[in-house]
Amino acid sequence: MTVRREIARILSTGPRSVSSLARELGLDRRDAEDDLRHAIHSARAAGHHVVVEPARCKQCGFLFGEDKLSKPGKCPECRGTRIFEAQIRIA
């Protein structure tokens, strides 16, 4: 099974972050993010519903855009570095 199909299979079982996908598949985080973007595109093209819970600052609650899949470095509002990663799933 290809990496992108494996990502789609994992995301259909429950929400995951880029970091958790990278750990599960033994990939570098950047590679996992690239493959994830392609898997999301393919899933949407196949008619599946992709749910992205955006990254969120733990201190002030600022929500990042849904296009930001990897963990941001700092919050643009409070400059805090404690951030929840985006969670992605395929419904």
- The contacts of residue 37 (CB under 8 Å, 6+ apart) are 69
pLDDT, tens only, 6-18: 998 999 999 999 9
The structure tokens listed for 53 are 């819970």
Question: Residue 54's pLDDT is what?
Answer: 93
Structural domain span for residue 37: 3-90
Domain count, the chain: 1
DSSP conformation class of 68: -
The model's pTM is 0.82
The residue written with tokens 């929400």 in the block is 15
48-76 tens-digit pLDDT: 999 999 999 999 999 999 888 888 889 99
> Can you read off the two tokens belonging to residue 51?
């749910």
Q: How many CA atoms lie within 13 A of 15 on its CB side?
A: 11
Band of residue 47 on the pLDDT scale cut at 50, 70, 90: very high
Angstrom CA distances, 10 to 21, 41, 77, 78, 79, stand at 8, 15, 33, 34, 33
Measured between alpha carbons, how far is 74 from 57 in angstroms, rounded to an integer? Answer: 8
